[in-house]
A and B are shown apart, each in its own frame.
Chain A
Amino acid sequence: MKNFLIYLVKIIGVLFLSLVILDGLYTLVFLQSKNRGKIETVFNSGPEKYDVIILGSSRANNHFVSQMFEDKGLKTFNFGISGSHLFETSLLLKLMIERKYKIKNIILDADLSIANFKQSEGVSAKFLPYIHNSNVIKEHFMSEEDFDALYYIPFYRYIKYENKIGFREVFYTAIHKKTNVLENLGFYSLSKNKKGNMKNDIRALKPIQNKYYDEIKKICAENHINLIAVMTPMCSNTKGLDYFEKVKKIYPEIHNYENAVEGDQYFSSCGHMNDAGARLFTTRILNDFFIKK
């Protein structure tokens, strides 16, 4: 039995060592990542200057045509991330500030995400490779339930989120395989989808005093950034459209553009406009906020 226990200790030692080595290797690879995703790009970037930065979920990513801002002489990038919540948006902004970005304006998609203060695990996982390399990330995750495991157990975060930051992603990062996420200045255009589901039911959503939205507001105020928070269009066949009014009651400064673009021909699905819709909407935003009358 004594020999077996010694053998078990050896196995545990080898396992621990393997996990530490794997953790180090994976992190090292992610620290070189520059052409895979928006989070990795921001983390591995230096000081940048922007006139306009777009933040939020897919409803930011698919709705603001960065090039149209550029055409007006505004250096712009769309950092909207599909599937993200305000938890990740706030952290991404904090990272930009940590990287000493100089930003004049932030357009924030703040509508459906106001109802949610939880993290979107699929997106937040992308920050985790850097948890030991950034105090901002560490502190942001500190209040999460599994922080200790994620932070202290070597390689645990790569195992838990293997479909996002596992071997496959490490391999593609190592060989510098590009994604299309950073193309078109971050804007992802959706095509007209004939089969798109042109109805939606958001009656279950309840807007709340969202601590991450408040955090974003605070960061912007501290760094003299002009925050333009907007609610972006939904298709007309949406049940529970009064949600947007409820958001407005809690946060009167958020501009309600829910019905700024009408007609199913401008939508790819009920919550996402197609390219034509996005261009129409971007024109409206440019006119309302960036073109002096």
Chain B
Amino acid sequence: MFFNSFAFAIFLPIVFILYWFVFNKNKSTQNALLIIASYYFYSCWDWRFLFLLVFSTFLDYYTGIQIEKAKKESIRKFWFWLSISVNLGFLGVFKYYNFFADSFSDLLNGFGLQTSPLLLNVILPVGISFYTFHGLSYVIDIYLKRIKAEYNFVDYSLFVSYFPLLVAGPIERATHLLPQVKIKREFNYQKAKEGIFQFIWGLVKKVVIADTCATYANAIFDNYSSMNSLSLLLGAVYFAFQIYGDFSGYSDMALGMSKLFGIDLLRNFNYPYFSRDIAEFWRRWHISLSSWFRDYLYIPLGGSSGGMAMKIRNTFIIFLVSGFWHGANWTFIVWGFINALYFLPLLLLKKNRSNIEMVSLNWDLKSVNIFFNIVITFAITCFAWIFFRAKSIGEAFSYIKRMFTNREFNFQFLANDRSNYELVSMIFVFVLIEWRSRTQVEPISGKWSLLKLALAMVAIAAFGTFSDYKEFIYFQF
């Protein structure tokens, strides 16, 4: 059941009505309903993996309590490492086992030892990377005595399984979400309206931008050997907008619908393509994951405290792990590595925190410089996305090689029966809208909101892609 599906359009209003009109007596009934709805939502993909989700929830709930109750450090450590190993074990088996087995076999084959790896025929449970990280952060926080263990199983289950964030985040923190689920939510008209605006804008990003860009990006990436330089260049740009529209659109829909239930989720995107350097980009892109890695990997590794060498080492580690988190393929690891390389000059020049405030442009020389920096940052981001999108590293290199050596720059008619200029115009309008609304969460709220909402809905109906592409990219992670 996708957020942009007909089934979800039925599911959401039913849950909303039950939540505010039937199960609104106290927070326990509200939470119980949301848990049932979340489990139903998850089981729509594959009910068998519901057991995995419930087991993972129970494990972290139980170990969290045991860590808190333990008097001896050794017992605390035992429960802590048990939770960490089982969580990462699940992730390892379902997501990474085949990759490691394959890579190890390739390595042995490289040395002349012919092996055929024993691969598992399992599908990746939807959202496993997200809910595992939820659980991990909770257990780590208890272990480090940042938070108290949650003794109410329903409340804890909701923290892990809440359907708006269950399959593709944002990756919530116990300190942010648990306090909200522990009190009865009262209906707030303004918040609900904001929720509608954000949900609809997310849908625009998904079906108008991401899904349309997907048909073009697929037509170019799948036929890159017959594409000219301009098309290959545009293919990378289209994928950049596809993944942005897809993931930030999903996050907007998640945050928006959650507001309808009176719950605020962490902001996940903050107009990343208007970043002036790569450090700013990573403060604005998939914020909940970046901050997770910062708090649970970068800082425990020593962060920036041990001098430049340690800073660089730790930066490379978190980018490589972040790349690997996205998928069990060398392409994602290379993507992470490239981003770490982009980061390097900023670290060496100590400029990784120089663009903190919101970007603005005026008619002056400084603004030309800022504009230039935005374009450069976007360009290098697109370059890295080629590795993220390509099926293999070899394909990514061939794509890049052709992009630089073909040297033909005319608009081509693509395999999806469309021409590049049609989408370029649409992206241009989208960028203008985003630029004008970069100081707010979405562009619909404010003056004339009903009119803007109507225009957004017309855009979805008239310009949306409904026939070719539906799935959210981040569901595979």
Complex CA–CA separation, A4 to B193 (angstroms) = 7
Interface residues of B in 388-435 (CB under 8 A from A): 418, 422
Cβ of B461 within 8 Å of any chain A Cβ, yes or no, is yes
Given A22-B461, A168-B418 in contact, is the A7-B193 Cβ separation under 8 Å?
A: yes
Cβ of A15 within 8 Å of any chain B Cβ, yes or no, is yes
12 CB < 8 A contacts A-B: A1-B20, A3-B189, A4-B187, A8-B196, A11-B450, A11-B457, A15-B454, A18-B458, A160-B467, A163-B467, A163-B468, A166-B462
In the bound complex, do residue A162 and residue B465 qualify as a contact, i.e. CB atoms below 8 Å apart?
yes
In the bound complex, do residue B450 and residue A18 qualify as a contact, i.e. CB atoms below 8 Å apart?
no
Given A7-B193, A11-B196 in contact, is the A22-B462 Cβ separation under 8 Å?
A: yes
* Residues of B with C-beta under 8 A to A3: 189
Given A1-B187, A4-B189 in contact, is the A162-B457 Cβ separation under 8 Å?
A: no
Cβ of B372 within 8 Å of any chain A Cβ, yes or no, is no
Complex CA–CA separation, A163 to B415 (angstroms) = 13
In the bound complex, do residue A14 and residue B462 qualify as a contact, i.e. CB atoms below 8 Å apart?
no
* Residues of B with C-beta under 8 A to A19: 461
In the bound complex, do residue B454 and residue A162 qualify as a contact, i.e. CB atoms below 8 Å apart?
no
Q: How large is the interface on B (under 10, 10 to 19, 20 to 34, 35 or more residues)?
A: 20 to 34
* Residues of B with C-beta under 8 A to A15: 454, 457
Cβ of B463 within 8 Å of any chain A Cβ, yes or no, is yes
Cβ of B464 within 8 Å of any chain A Cβ, yes or no, is yes
Which 4 pairs between the two chains have the least Cβ-Cβ distance? Answer: A163-B467, A14-B454, A167-B462, A18-B458
Given A4-B187, A11-B453 in contact, is the A161-B467 Cβ separation under 8 Å?
A: yes
A26–chain B nearest beta-carbon distance, Å: 9
Task: Tell which of A4, A18, A158, A168 touches B454, judged by Cβ atoms closer than 8 Å.
Answer: A18
Cβ of B344 within 8 Å of any chain A Cβ, yes or no, is no
Task: Tell which of B20, B187, B461 touches A155, judged by Cβ atoms closer than 8 Å.
Answer: B461
Cβ of A68 within 8 Å of any chain B Cβ, yes or no, is no
Complex CA–CA separation, A10 to B193 (angstroms) = 12
Complex CA–CA separation, A158 to B193 (angstroms) = 29
Q: Is the interface of A mostly helix, strand, loop or mixed?
A: helix
Complex CA–CA separation, A43 to B462 (angstroms) = 24
Mask of A1-45 contacts with B, CB within 8 angstroms, 1/0: 101100110110011001100100000000000000000000000
Cβ of A159 within 8 Å of any chain B Cβ, yes or no, is yes
In the bound complex, do residue A159 and residue B193 qualify as a contact, i.e. CB atoms below 8 Å apart?
no
Interface residues of B in 431-477 (CB under 8 A from A): 450, 453-454, 457-458, 461-468
Given A3-B189, A14-B453 in contact, is the A159-B464 Cβ separation under 8 Å?
A: yes
Cβ of B192 within 8 Å of any chain A Cβ, yes or no, is yes
In the bound complex, do residue A14 and residue B189 qualify as a contact, i.e. CB atoms below 8 Å apart?
no
Complex CA–CA separation, A22 to B20 (angstroms) = 34
A203–chain B nearest beta-carbon distance, Å: 29
Complex CA–CA separation, A11 to B462 (angstroms) = 17
A245–chain B nearest beta-carbon distance, Å: 37
Complex CA–CA separation, A160 to B467 (angstroms) = 7
* Residues of B with C-beta under 8 A to A161: 467
* Residues of B with C-beta under 8 A to A4: 187, 189, 192-193
New A-B pairs, 18, CB < 8 Å, besides A14-B450, A155-B461 = A1-B187, A3-B189, A4-B187, A7-B189, A7-B193, A18-B458, A19-B461, A22-B458, A22-B461, A159-B464, A159-B466, A162-B465, A162-B466, A163-B465, A163-B467, A166-B462, A167-B462, A168-B422
Task: Tell me the nearest residue of chain B to A156, going by C-beta.
Answer: B461
Task: Tell me the nearest residue of chain B to A23, going by C-beta.
Answer: B461
In the bound complex, do residue A14 and residue B193 qualify as a contact, i.e. CB atoms below 8 Å apart?
no
* Residues of A with C-beta under 8 A to B466: 159-160, 162
* Residues of B with C-beta under 8 A to A11: 196, 450, 453, 457
B195–chain A nearest beta-carbon distance, Å: 10
Mask of A142-161 contacts with B, CB within 8 angstroms, 1/0: 00000000000001001111
In the bound complex, do residue B422 and residue A14 qualify as a contact, i.e. CB atoms below 8 Å apart?
no
* Residues of B with C-beta under 8 A to A158: 461
In the bound complex, do residue A10 and residue B467 qualify as a contact, i.e. CB atoms below 8 Å apart?
no
B15–chain A nearest beta-carbon distance, Å: 15
Complex CA–CA separation, A3 to B190 (angstroms) = 10
* Residues of A with C-beta under 8 A to B468: 163
Task: Tell me the nearest residue of chain A to B467, going by C-beta.
Answer: A163
* Residues of B with C-beta under 8 A to A22: 458, 461-462
Complex CA–CA separation, A162 to B189 (angstroms) = 35
* Residues of B with C-beta under 8 A to A159: 461, 464, 466
Task: Tell me the nearest residue of chain A to B458, going by C-beta.
Answer: A18
* Residues of A with C-beta under 8 A to B457: 11, 14-15, 18
Given A4-B189, A14-B457, A155-B461 in contact, is the A162-B196 Cβ separation under 8 Å?
A: no
Interface residues of B in 134-161 (CB under 8 A from A): none
In the bound complex, do residue A162 and residue B450 qualify as a contact, i.e. CB atoms below 8 Å apart?
no
* Residues of B with C-beta under 8 A to A163: 465, 467-468
Task: Tell which of B192, B193, B422, B467 touches A162, judged by Cβ atoms closer than 8 Å.
Answer: B467
Complex CA–CA separation, A161 to B466 (angstroms) = 8
* Residues of A with C-beta under 8 A to B193: 4, 7
Task: Tell me the nearest residue of chain A to B192, going by C-beta.
Answer: A4
Complex CA–CA separation, A8 to B20 (angstroms) = 15
* Residues of B with C-beta under 8 A to A8: 196
* Residues of B with C-beta under 8 A to A7: 189, 193, 196
B19–chain A nearest beta-carbon distance, Å: 11
Q: Which of B20, B187, B461, B465 has the most CB of A within 10 A?
A: B461
Complex CA–CA separation, A158 to B467 (angstroms) = 11
Task: Tell me the nearest residue of chain B to A170, going by C-beta.
Answer: B462
* Residues of A with C-beta under 8 A to B20: 1
Mask of A64-105 contacts with B, CB within 8 angstroms, 1/0: 000000000000000000000000000000000000000000
A113–chain B nearest beta-carbon distance, Å: 23
Complex CA–CA separation, A221 to B189 (angstroms) = 67
Given A1-B20, A1-B187, A4-B193 in contact, is the A18-B461 Cβ separation under 8 Å?
A: yes
* Residues of B with C-beta under 8 A to A10: 450
Mask of B152-192 contacts with A, CB within 8 angstroms, 1/0: 00000000000000000000000000000000000101001
B449–chain A nearest beta-carbon distance, Å: 10
* Residues of A with C-beta under 8 A to B464: 159, 162
* Residues of B with C-beta under 8 A to A167: 462-463
Task: Tell me the nearest residue of chain A to B465, going by C-beta.
Answer: A162
Complex CA–CA separation, A39 to B457 (angstroms) = 30
A126–chain B nearest beta-carbon distance, Å: 14
Complex CA–CA separation, A161 to B465 (angstroms) = 9
A39–chain B nearest beta-carbon distance, Å: 17
Complex CA–CA separation, A125 to B462 (angstroms) = 16
* Residues of A with C-beta under 8 A to B454: 14-15, 18
B420–chain A nearest beta-carbon distance, Å: 14
* Residues of B with C-beta under 8 A to A166: 462
Complex CA–CA separation, A160 to B457 (angstroms) = 16
* Residues of B with C-beta under 8 A to A162: 464-467
Mask of B220-247 contacts with A, CB within 8 angstroms, 1/0: 0000000000000000000000000000
Complex CA–CA separation, A161 to B468 (angstroms) = 10
Complex CA–CA separation, A163 to B196 (angstroms) = 28
